[in-house]
Structure 1
Amino acid sequence: MKSIVLNTDLEDKIALVELEIPGLAEDEVLVRVKAAALNHRDEWCRQGLYPGLKNGVVLGSDGAGIIEKVGAKVDSSWIGHEVLINPSNNWGEDAKAQAKDFSILGMPENGTLAEFVKVKADRVHAKPKHLNWEEAAALPLGGLTAFRAVMVQGALSRGQKVLVTGFGGGVAQFATQFAIAAGAEVYVSSSSKDKLDVAKELGAKGGFNYTDEAWTKQALEQTGGFDLIIDSAMGDTLNNLIKVSLPGGKIVFYGATKGNPSSVDARKIFWNQLHLIGSTMGSDEDFDAMLKFVEGRNVKPVLDQIFAPEEAVFAFDKMKAGQQLGKIVIKFS
């Protein structure tokens, strides 16, 4: 089977190789992958920025396809079903946070960037009927991360004012779409006018260029402040987010691409009763709720570009450059 694997000995750090189709344990299913989507996690693995890296591992966390075979203890009626895959493994019993042995498909276990992938039977879910293969493949990791940030940790209510920072990445776009679908008044930030325009086409009320030093003043003048902010950058952008938060507001962050802040306006946090909340991908219950939400509100992922497996390096390079507007997808069949 065609497979895109990590190989740090090569200049491109990834390679398209032929691997044997995996055998199944009694509680596993074999999915013939129709399409798989890239996440920043895959590029971080390529750059050596992820823990526990191993050469030869098939990358990819997001995928959708058709169940080809099932293990001995799996109901055979699953064969032929169109499914997407929950890439979270071993979340654990506590809904508040993941267990110590939590892992994500695609490193250290073989992932979805191959013609076939094996997963536990409880990781597959019926593909939403309103999504095509590429859209379904784009949903799982980013959709789950955004849903938990917005709906679970952020506890969004209809009519609230929401700011999603860094619109353009997959999670930020899902967060924007989910908040709009839930009846919020949504604004976004980006350094790209094109991305701000796309957000408005999706239903955002407005957008701000975060490279403009006056953006916080503009945001306060237009909105009065935000009940909920969804962010993945942190670093020294945090104080600007604190500045535009309404009293009692929440700042939920699911990443820290700009690292730790050098200073924090702690006085404003406690005086305005702000909530600073961390978030990750989400529990199995979150995944179920996310799928119901997507189906019930007819949410469709924004796609950037679809590549063939032979074009994997170009796809990864595009993600590395941050050029995408929507999800980057590899189509296998």
Structure 2
Amino acid sequence: MQAVIVHQWGGPEQLTVETIDDPTPMPGHAIVELKASAINWHDILVRRSGRGFPLPRILGIDGAGIRRDTGEEVVIYPGLNWGTNTAAPSPQFSILGDHVDGTYAELVRVPTENLYPKPAYLSWEEAAALPVGALTAYRAIITRAGLRPGETVLVLGAGSGVSTFSVMIASVLGATVWVTSSSTEKIQRVCELGAAGGVLYTNPDWPQHIIEETGGVDVVVDGVGANLEQSLACLKPGGRVVVFGATAGTTGSIDIPSLYFGQHTILGSTLGTEEEFAGMLTLSESHRLRPVIDSTRPLSDARAAHERIESRGHFGKLVLSAT
């Protein structure tokens, strides 16, 4: 099969397309002929530093394709060994493309319980772009933040896969959604997905503009991380911030008195359980939610796709086609 291999951690140039042996069947697993896979920021972080994972490695978390043993069209739940505690993953939790090979390939071997019927209304590219972004947004907004109809949500960093799904999910749940972005064009495009408006985070006073526009928000969906103090500044009394990423840095500071006087809550979130994955698929199908696709490229263009994500110029998901 053809696959994108990393032999040494580093820049996008470390992604090389090679012909390797097909994965072999194992008990409790299935081989999936991938029609498409999608790129996530996690792939970039792993490619840069390795995070202690073994080499060589096939990256890739998202994917959709056809089961070789049954011929079923499937979409892949990318979590492995979440465990029995729905509140948090087990110490053994991992995802495709970390300790085991992922979806930047024509074939992938995954546990059979990780395979779900592909939503019939989605193309292969859309189905492949769904799992990580939509599941991360679903858990952050529904499970962790407990969003209620009529509340106001602020989504940071309009344009990423998770942020576009967050806007769509919060909107169909009856929330008013605002966003931040570095681009007025991206704000306009997110408004087409259901957002009410947005502000430019390049303006250092952007939290005050959010307060002026909304009177304060109930929930902030934060994948930026390092600006936690600004996220808290946008909340109404009793509001909550749910953090799922740290694209701008792994450390941040907050004003402790404003936290307890504001009765605010800070919540951490990550990918999600199998049950949440099933719930996300049900919600997506009932509202016909479609992933926003920035571009689709062949496997051989994985390097260019990584470079585009790192440039921050994309809007939505970047997809690799295996066909």
Partners of 1:36 and 1:330 within 8 A in 2: yes
Residue segments in structure 1 that go unaligned for 5+ positions in a row? 70-78
Residue 7 (structure 1) aligned with residue 41 (structure 2)? no
**Separation of aligned partners in 1, 2:252 and 2:218:** 25
Shift of 1:53: 2.7
| 1:148 to partner: Cα distance | 0.4
Q: How do 1:128-143 residues align onto structure 2 when only pairs under 5 Å count?
A: 128-143=119-134
Could you tell me which amino acid in structure 1 is paired with residue 233 of structure 2? K
3-state secondary structure, aligned to 2:86: coil
Contact kept, 8 Å, 1:5 with 1:55, in 2: the verdict is: no
Per the TM alignment, residue 261 of structure 1 is displaced from its structure 2 partner at its CA by 4.7
- Superposed CA deviations along residues 156-194 of structure 1, whole A, max 9, x for unmatched, are 111100000011111111111110111100000011111
- Where does residue 153 of structure 2 map in the other structure? 162
Secondary structure at 2:91 match in 1: coil
Q: Which residue of 1 aligns with 2:273?
A: 283
Could you say what secondary structure the match of 2:65 adopts? Answer: strand
Report the equivalent of 1:36.
37
Counterpart in the other structure of 1:212: 203
Structure 2: give runs of 5+ residues left out of the alignment. Answer: none
Per the alignment, residue 83 of structure 2 pairs with 92
- Does the 8 Å CA contact 1:59/1:112 hold for their aligned counterparts? yes
Structure 1 position 52 matched with structure 2 position 42 = no
Q: CA deviation at 1:37?
A: 0.2
Moved over 6 A (4+): none
Structure 2: distance between partners of 1:224 and 1:314:
42
Question: Which position in structure 2 is the counterpart of 1:234?
Answer: 225
Map of 1:25 onto structure 2: 26
Aligned length in residues = 322
**Deviation string for 1:127-182 (max 9, x for gaps)?**
01111000000011111111100110011111100000011111111111110111
* Distance (Å, rounded) in 2 between the aligned partners of 1:34 and 1:283: 24
Provide the rounded CA distance (Å) in 1 between the counterparts of 2:269 and 2:300. Answer: 35
Name the CA distance, whole Å, in 2 between partners of 1:316 and 1:272: 40
2:210 is aligned with what amino acid? A
Task: Find the residue that maps to 1:306 and give its secondary structure.
Answer: strand
Taking a change above 3 Å as real, the CA distance of residues 116 and 233 of structure 1, as seen in their structure-2 partners, is same
Conservation of the 8 A alpha-carbon contact between 1:242 and 1:265: no
Which string of whole-angstrom CA distances, capped at 9 and with x for unpartnered residues, describes residues 111-138 of structure 1? 1111011111000000011110000000
Question: What root-mean-square deviation, in Å, do the aligned CA atoms of Structure 1 and Structure 2 show?
Answer: 1.3
Q: How does 1:50-129 map to 2 (within 5 A)?
A: 50-69=50-69, 79-129=70-120
In the alignment, the residues of structure 2 paired with residue 234 and residue 6 of structure 1 have an alpha-carbon distance, to the nearest angstrom, of 28
Q: How does 1:152-191 map to 2 (within 5 A)?
A: 152-191=143-182
Alpha-carbon contact 1:134-1:331 (below 8 Å) kept:
yes
SS of the equivalent of 1:186 reads strand
Q: TM-score, normalised by structure 2?
A: 0.97
Give the deviation of 1:108 after TM superposition.
1.5
In structure 1, the residue corresponding to 2:84 is in which secondary structure?
coil
SS of aligned partner of 2:31: strand
Measure, in 2, the Cα distance between the counterparts of 1:98 and 1:7.
Answer: 29
What is the DSSP-based 3-state SS (H/G/I as helix, E as strand, rest coil) of the residue aligned with 1:137?
helix
TM-score under structure 1 normalisation?
A: 0.94
CA distance in 1, matches of 2:84, 2:151: 31
Q: How far 1:258 moved relative to its partner?
A: 2.7
State the secondary structure of the residue aligned to 1:202. Answer: coil
Identity %: 36
Partner of 2:315: 325
Identify if the C-alpha distance between structure 1 residues 262 and 89 changes in structure 2 by more than 3 Å, giving closer, same or farther. Answer: closer
Aligned residues of 2:154 and 2:220 also touching (Cα < 8 A) = yes
